[in-house]
Amino acid sequence: MTILALCIADGLHENIPDIHFDRDVIIAGGLVHDIGKTYEYDPERAMRWRSQPQQVGYPPVRHPAYGVYLAMRAGLPESVVQYLRDPC
């Protein structure tokens, strides 16, 4: 994801020179964009979600939300945290 994000930023900058990006933020965001995935793939949680979807949802908290939590707890700047909130 990091390389793809940098390629997109570079391509945009080549075509629209007035656009400026903070490459450090793009790199950091690309590196941590799926940091919350471990929450969704925990076997114990997955079993609970599948057995009680009416109570907790399936899954109850998606990885972007948990990734934002982890990034903020780690003290990452909000400019990086923005990369985590988008579920796409």
**Domain positions in the chain:** 2-85
Residue 41 pLDDT: 83
Does residue 29 register a pLDDT over 80? Answer: yes
Does the pTM surpass 0.85? The reply is no
Residue 16 pLDDT: 95
Q: What is the DSSP string of the chain?
A: -HHHHHHHHHHHHHH-TT----HHHHHHHHHHTTTTHHHHT-HHHHHHHHH-HHHH-SSSS-HHHHHHHHHHHTT--HHHHHHHH---
**More confident: 86 or 30:** 30
HSE-CB for 63 with a 13 A CA cutoff: 15
pLDDT tens-place string over residues 39-84: 888 888 888 888 888 887 776 678 888 889 999 999 999 888 887 7
